[in-house]
A and B are shown apart, each in its own frame.
Chain A
């Protein structure tokens, strides 16, 4: 099992550009999450999906959209990137009824 995979690993964008971060898991988990990690702030939840076909906002959803394409895949889209979105983005998944989250390797995004 690959677990949780994310692409790309690194990305540099100019302000105003758009991009989609991809996440996939092969553990048959129902719930998936997108976080951003900033120095001194821990992880903050952007969006989550409790099950296929549902998505909900987390703590910091502004400037982002998500799609739960199927049970395996959960993508995060930045429509118009801003320097404040420079961060490391992590995708995670968990089985329904289980609190343990499994994380992907992260995407380091820089917006200039």
Chain B
């Protein structure tokens, strides 16, 4: 079965540190890729998405992600994190033209002030 792997379940960083969260999927066909974020006490919201074109996509709040097809990866990055980035981050994938999302387990990010 197709799956999405997020390698780190918990990440703790200090403010101003650089961030990279890993996401890998297991599917050789066409994919659409998403990162969602869930701030404490809030609902999930879209951070960024990739459908086609430039594999480096920019999202809200200074986040970006790079799609590397050969590595089946879609890692999330931010050059300098802030305390307000404390949240849980989810990678998700749709396969071909199927609209159902397959979700990773999530990464809890804690930023120390």
The residues of A with any CB-CB pair to B shorter than 8 Å are 4, 31, 40-45, 48, 50, 58, 90, 92, 94, 99-101, 103-106
Contacts and interface: CB of A to CB of B under 8 A. Distances in A.
B43 A94 contact: no
Given A40-B9, A40-B105, A99-B51, A105 B43 contact: yes
Interface stretch (B55-63, B72-80, B93-101): B93-101
A58 B99 CA distance: 12
5 contacts: A41-B105, A42-B4, A99-B51, A100-B34, A106-B43
A55 to B, nearest CB: 13
Contacts of B94: 99
A13 B43 CA distance: 23
Contacts of A103: 43-45
Interface of B: 4, 6, 9, 32, 34, 42-46, 49, 51, 90, 92, 94, 99-101, 103-106
Contacts, number: 47
A43 B94 CA distance: 14
Contact of A99 (B9, B32, B103): B32
A90 B44 contact: yes
Contacts of A92: 44
Contact of A44 (B46, B51, B103): B103
A42 B32 contact: no
B43 A42 contact: no
A99 B99 CA distance: 6
A101 B46 CA distance: 8
B91 to A, nearest CB: 9
Contact of B106 (A42, A58, A106): A42
